[in-house]
Amino acid sequence: MQIPQYLLERLKRNEEIAGKFNEIEMSILSILNFDDFFKRLLFQIADKFSIPHIWFSIIRESTIGKQLKGNSDSEGLKSTIAFVSHERFISIINNQKPVLANRNLTYFHDLMPVTLTEPIGSLAIAPITLDGKLVGSINLADIDAHRFEPGIDTSLLEQLARKVSLCLSNVTAYEQLKFMAYHDPLTGLFNRRVFERILDREFSRAKRYNSELSLIFIDFDDFKTINDTAGHRIGDKVLCFFADALGSLKREQDIVARLAGDEFVVILPSTGKKCAAQFIKRVTAYFETNPMVSGEYVFNIRISHGISCLSDEGVYNPSELLKTADSEMYRHKAEKKKP
């Protein structure tokens, strides 16, 4: 029996598309960093399928969303990724099937990157997953209102989303390993090894350019009591709450790290002791009015701190800068215990 011509044409078209998918997959499998991955992937898809606008929407609260936010200063990521809240994303995508639209496109504004300023006629949103969990979507747009018209077959979009999800899992796994090598696994702050390298760099830079440099050593008051009364799980939440607050209160150039346990440090480049004292004053004031709440527990965080700077007596190297701040912190803690 002779195969109908339209079936032959469809088979040929499917083979061509499968070939393009394979070329895209092979071109990105060796990439192991987010920036290059997203740029290469989107370029390949746009080029092979002649799509004028293509980008990712990533759920901000997802694991990959948190990882990517750490790289959000990258110009490449700014133009290829839009971050959206889980609640808003789910309101648009209530299952894992592609969504097509060519009317009321302003409804999808939260899914669009700030760099997308040209008018579009139709939009395709293909959900992507990571380890079986919905993490966002890959989005295609065209000025042609009929290209992604609701009602057309979305099987190719689903294939594309599956390919993208598979490739994304590879680069995400590698980025997670790299992140863990440099960051504290609980709070996401820099770990001690990275802190020491940064301190060495900033100390040398301050000496070279005769600029100021301050360091703040911070320690919780009675953190052991939190662990003993509420358990380590709540104690971990308190540490994360504290780390997030420090991250939001610091300047862009400041570096926050967790040394161990409840010990944190802040490096303040080009900053004298007076300005460092103002910073820790803001931190203290913040926790006085913002207790950490978890279920039935409410903790008013109290801290002790010590500040050192490049001009302090006996500070001839980075380790002395840290040691001086540590000594000042213990002195502060002891003074608070005096009747």
* Structure confidence at residue 282 as a pLDDT band (50, 70, 90): very high
DSSP state of 70: T
Give the CATH number, domain containing residue 297: 3.30.70.270
Mean per-residue pLDDT, 8-26: 66
pLDDT tens track for 92-111: 987 888 999 999 999 999 99
Does residue 284 surpass a pLDDT of 90? yes
Q: Which amino acid is at 131?
A: D
Does residue 6 surpass a pLDDT of 50? no
Q: Residue 131 falls within a domain, yes or no? A: yes
Write down the pLDDT at residue 199: 95
Q: Which domain holds residue 199?
A: 192-337
* Token representation of residue 124: 């395709």
* Token representation of residue 288: 């006085």
Q: Are 27 and 118 contained in the same domain?
A: yes
Q: Residue 254 falls within a domain, yes or no? A: yes
Q: Are 223 and 152 contained in the same domain?
A: no
3-state secondary structure of 257: strand
* Token representation of residue 163: 């390919």
Place of tokens 């948190």: 66
pTM, two decimals, is 0.65
Parallel, antiparallel or unpaired: strands 122-130 and 133-142: antiparallel
* Structure confidence at residue 20 as a pLDDT band (50, 70, 90): confident
Q: Residue 187 falls within a domain, yes or no? A: no
Name the helix (H) or strand (E) containing 320: helix 318-337
- d(Cα 46, Cα 115) in Å, to the nearest integer? 16
pLDDT tens track for 264-280: 999 999 999 999 999 99
